[in-house]
Amino acid sequence: MRLTTIRLPKTRRFCTSKTALTRAFADVEPLSIHMGSLGTSFRFDSRCSNRPTLTGTVVASLGVSRALTAILTIYPIPASGFGSAAATAFELEVVPRMRKWLLQQLAKRKTAILGYERLVIEWVGGSFREHRLRYL
């Protein structure tokens, strides 16, 4: 696992901490974690044709490629709309589901993955919603 991060102004924050991510994903070798270093907002890949309607803010996305390498991107969000209770809920509920999904994807044979698979986590009001995408 490799982790990179950026510094944020006090008005922005991440949905989780480096410590929580390291604790959850330290043993997953083909994973790169980027906390804001690949971009500060989520954008759909141009190859993705079945796009879900996003009504909230995307806080994280986890993608697995055909070569069975993975990238977890954590996006900065406004600190005013995302408190410490939401961050705790993310660490206790969402991170274990992301880990389980990632390990299931990495356990597949290379021929079982036709393209790119992505798990997108959206913060909507007071809860998290996940979307599963698949594209070539």
φ, ψ of residue 59 in degrees (nearest 5): -100, -20
- % of the chain at pLDDT higher than 90: 80
The model's pTM: 0.93
Alpha helices (H) in 18-67, listed in sequence order: 18-25
φ, ψ of residue 11 in degrees (nearest 5): -85, -10
- What is the tens place of the pLDDT at every residue in 61-95? 999 998 889 999 999 999 998 999 999 999 999 99
Distance between CA atoms of residues 1 and 128, nearest Å: 25
What's the DSSP call for residue 79?
G
pLDDT of amino acid 113 = 74
pLDDT of amino acid 127 = 94
Tell whether the model's pLDDT for residue 57 goes beyond 80.
Answer: yes
Average pLDDT value for residue range 101-105: 95
